[in-house]
Amino acid sequence: MPVLVAETFLSLQGEGVWAGWPCFFIRLSGCNLRCLYCDTRYAYLDGAQRDIPSLVAEWSASRARFVQITGGEPLLQRQAIPLMDALLRAGAHVLLETNGSLPLALVPRGVVKVVDRKTPGSGMEGSWLEENLRYINEKDQMKFVITGRNDYLWAADIVKSGFLFRYTEVIFSPAWGVCDPADLASWILDDRLPVRFQIQLHKILWGEKRGK
């Protein structure tokens, strides 16, 4: 069964622990959420049918160590799991970017899960699947995209009350063009919050250009 793919491209990893590393991206089509700040609306519906061996071969030809499966929401497609398995078998360091609204139980153990927990400012706060906490560990990352002070306070409370920093990497990122990065950095420092601040490197380099 093929995979519906919005685009593939080689770029620098723009977010998370491996920001700055060359990474091959496979963006799958389809998303079950409609975040107010979404920057990949073009991935909601359209895409090309691709078979898994051709995607693995394209990653291999890129000569990038990392490959990120992203979207849209990749886990909407059942073939996302076999795709990750195939990439792992080929020797890739596989990252999965997912919105936390769908079960993580079947994600292969070798995959690094980058889980974007939606804040109130996204308009999708209620999408979080609480059972997913069982499948997030120290090699994974939980990301909060912050649109302003209210989002920050909401996310900080979740981090502290759930002791998320004890078992996974927690990342706070300012919503591009919505939250001032300097404000977010100051709030984190003022509270000595045990999270990693990040800013979207690819947007600093290339702005809103697609495929970068």
Mean pLDDT of 99-126: 97
Q: What is the pLDDT of residues 10-58, one digit of tens each?
A: 999 998 889 999 999 999 999 999 999 998 999 998 899 999 999 999 9
Mean pLDDT of the chain: 95
Contact indicator for 62, 19 with CB cutoff of 8 Å: no
Taking the C-alpha atoms of residue 20 and residue 23, their distance in angstroms, rounded to an integer, is 9
Beta bridge partners of 70: 27
Its pTM stands at 0.94
Q: How much is the pLDDT for 212? A: 61
Q: What is the pLDDT of residues 159-201, one digit of tens each?
A: 999 999 999 999 999 999 999 999 999 999 999 999 999 998 8
- Residues 6 or more apart whose Cβ sits within 8 Å of residue 145: 37, 116, 118, 119, 121, 122, 151, 173, 174, 175
- Residues 6 or more apart whose Cβ sits within 8 Å of residue 207: none
Structure tokens, 145: 């995209």
Q: What is the pLDDT of residues 140-156, one digit of tens each?
A: 999 999 999 999 999 99
pLDDT band at 211, cuts 50/70/90? low
| CATH architecture of structural domain 3-206 | Alpha-Beta Barrel (3.20)
Q: How much is the pLDDT for 187? A: 98
Q: How much is the pLDDT for 209? A: 73
Query: What are phi and psi for residue 61, nearest 5 degrees?
Result: -65, -25
